[in-house]
Amino acid sequence: MHKKKFITAGMVCEQGRAQYYATLHKAKQGELVRVKRGVYAEEIALADTMVDIESLIPGGILCMFSAWEHYGLTTQVPQQYDVAIKRGRKVVAPRYPNFKLHNLSDNALNLGITTANISGYKVKIFDIEKCVCDAVKFRNKIGIDVCTEIVKNYLKRRNKNIAKLMKYAKVLRVEKTLEMCLAMGV
């Protein structure tokens, strides 16, 4: 099977100047698509359900709707890739595929990071408990119905970790709101 992949200028330069010019030639011929400055991809890689987030947004972490959909917490289909980055960091996202960047503080950004293999790509993603806390934190932006759906679906899971969930809720300052959701049985 042919591996779909993204190619960065840095990766190609390590292989020598000839390989760099060959990559530029492939882009001119239409064999590769220029995603953004210094990043190229095969067309098939852009048609997949996941892209190489690390190549496109270095240090980015999959979050919000993209993460909720990955964990099966929502029936909402993401319209873009939701990616968390450090607040104040300047990042140029490609025009296609669509990205929505979420600027988070160090405290929120470094909490609950894990990696997952999604469609053959190693992707940084927040763990499920952090994702549930994000739903509660941003309930007014995403809608109460979506937040309720996420919390209910989390509570149905066998591998839920309520202690970890409450620990994250305390750090993210949504502990009281989450307790109310849990007490009402959402």
- What local confidence, expressed as pLDDT, does residue 154 receive? 94
Structure tokens at 143: 């809608």
Round to whole Å and give the CA distance between 59 and 141. 25
* pLDDT over 70 at 95, yes or no: yes
**Residue 62: is it exposed, middle or buried by C-beta count within 10 angstroms (0-12/13-18/19+)?**
buried
For residues 92 and 177, the model is more confident at: 177
Taking CA atoms, 33 is separated from 24, 38, 39, 43, in Å, by: 10, 11, 9, 6
pLDDT interval class at 160 (50, 70, 90)? very high
pTM equals 0.76
* pLDDT over 80 at 78, yes or no: yes
Taking CA atoms, 25 is separated from 2, 10, 40, 44, 158, in Å, by: 21, 16, 12, 18, 52
Q: Tell me the average pLDDT of the chain.
A: 86
Classify residue 31 by its DSSP letter.
S
Parse the chain into domains and list their residue ranges. Answer: 6-46, 53-183
- What local confidence, expressed as pLDDT, does residue 34 receive? 77
Name the residue among 143, 134, 62, 127 with its Cα closest to residue 97.
Answer: 62
